[in-house]
Amino acid sequence: MPKNFKIAGLGSYLPEKILTNADLEKMVDTNDKWITERTGIKERRIAKEGQPSSDLAVEAAKIALKNASLDPKEIDLILVATITSDMLCPSTACVVQDKLGATNAAALDISAACSGFVYGLVVCHSLICQGQYKKVLLIAAETLSKITDWKDRSTCVLLGDGAGAAVLIPSNSDKEGLLASTLGAMGSAGNLICLPGGGSLNPATHKTVDERLHYLKMQGNELFKLAVKSLVEAAKTVMQKAKVKPEDINLFIPHQANMRIINASATRLGVPMEKVFINIDKYGNTSAATIPIALDEAFRAGRIKKGDLILLDAFGGGLTWGACLLRW
């Protein structure tokens, strides 16, 4: 049986259209100063009309496959982490399988909101180490702009669209791959981020549309406190499991929800800001896609080298959280 997995290729894709804070000033009662100071976000990317999450996923996946020197037909499993699936059925993973021509792959979606990519890594690790799958495509893709209430200034300034992908293959080295992981959930606080309409609880009707139930609702203040607590606890858990100290971490990639959450988490963990990867200013919160986009950008920027210790740390709707410690 393989000892671990290794990341054979990474890719990411961001839609071309940029929505700046100045653009938002014309749409809702907000301003660049408030958004910058309270969130750290300057701009975000927005998918085109008729451009669903699967399109973003496919673009990111093509780059990851190319970097892994693999043909789509060699992939035996596709996992897509998303809360903005193209449709409720079929899964976005099945749509991606078809668009890529990855005809030999099983396909399923993961719904863990912003923690989806970290959840996916842990699932892939188990499946690969059990010898069940050998060439796995893990994608996180979101078009949050399609479920954003563009009249709600407390959420619309935060969210953006994007996708990131990783090709995972077995490794027989005990010096690379996933060193430790932790996943958690608190369903009792699920109401803090939810999209109430369109599911089996509130099927779509004129009333659900009139009541704007098909948009993401968020209680930002409550989430803020839980986000910092969960991110810090999850990171400490994986560091303890792997017996490493904060100073051993080469790069900390936290979920990009709010610059103040990132600062508070890094400070409490004792990781200096020069070791923290930040791109929230360019993309805002792209939910599950934030971590693989950041991972890909960090790798391309030369901030990840062989042997480095990388800490991935996520928090989001569900509520869910999770952290992974990777040896590159």
Give CA–CA dist 292/141, Å, rounded.
9
Q: What is the DSSP letter of 73?
A: G
Q: Which of 94, 156, 255, 258 is catalytic?
A: 255
Backbone angles phi, psi at 182, to 5 degrees: -150, 145
227 binds ligand ACO (CB under 6 A): yes
| Contact between 111 and ligand ACO per CB under 6 A | no
Q: Verify binding: residue 134, ligand ACO, rule CB under 6 A.
A: no
Is the peptide bond between 170 and the residue preceding it cis, with omega within 30 degrees of 0? no
Question: Residue 156 catalytic?
Answer: no
CA 166 vs CA 136, 169, 257, 289: distances in Å = 8, 10, 21, 11
Determine, following the binding rule CB under 6 A, whether residue 220 of this chain makes contact with ligand ACO.
Answer: yes
Q: Is the dihedral of CA 249, 224, 256, 70 positive or negative?
A: positive
Task: For residue 317, state whether it binds ligand ACO (rule: CB under 6 A).
Answer: yes
Of residues 5-44, those binding ligand ACO (CB under 6 A): 30, 34-35, 38-39
Q: Is 114 a catalytic residue?
A: yes
DSSP 3-state assignment of 51?
coil
The window from 2-10, 128-136, 218-226, 265-273 that contacts ligand ACO (CB under 6 A) reads 218-226
Binding of ligand ACO at residue 287 (CB under 6 A)? yes
Site string for ligand ACO, 171-200 (x = CB under 6 A): ----------------------x-------
Q: Do the beta carbons of residue 194 and residue 317 sit within 8 Å? A: yes
Task: Check: CB of residue 44 under 8 Å from CB of residue 284.
Answer: yes
**Residue 59 has which token pair?**
């673009």
Whether 285 is a known active-site residue: answer yes
Residues in touch with ligand ACO (CB under 6 A): 30, 34-35, 38-39, 113-114, 153-154, 157, 193, 218, 220-221, 223-224, 227, 257-258, 261, 285, 287, 316-317
Q: Which residues are designated catalytic?
A: 114, 255, 285
